[in-house]
Amino acid sequence: MTASLLGLRTAIYAAPDLAQAKAWYGRFLGIDPYFDEPFYVGFNVGGYELGLDPYATPAPGTPITYWGVTDVQAVWDALLAQGATPDQHPQDVGDGIVVATVSDPFGNTLGIIQNPHFKLG
């Protein structure tokens, strides 16, 4: 028997102050969470879940989730305007793919990627 991955379902971010994190991500995403409980908040972002966990702690060396965007620079600017800290400035990593990372106010690394070659399915 082999196990195969079906694809990304959820990226969970530490949210030591859940109310503040929910408000921050809600403003940035422009949507309300679809799941909102004192132990977890979930946003549906393009069919994937961005989760906020008040019991998690940001851990150095954990994998970085890159969220797809159509314009890395515009999203980068919006994140910084909202109080994120720059980590990796937008850069073309080849073949028209542009990536960047920021730290949210709660210590999590948030990646964004503009990849003209990626297609769901």
Strands of the chain (E only): list them: 10-14, 35-37, 40-45, 48-53, 66-68, 85-94, 97-103, 109-114
Confidence of residue 87 (pLDDT cuts 50, 70, 90): very high
Confidence of residue 1 (pLDDT cuts 50, 70, 90): low
26: DSSP letter = H
pTM of the model as a whole: 0.88
Q: Say which CATH superfamily domain 10-114 falls into.
A: 2,3-Dihydroxybiphenyl 1,2-Dioxygenase, domain 1 (3.10.180.10)
Statement: residue 105 has pLDDT above 90: yes
Percent of the chain with pLDDT over 90: 83
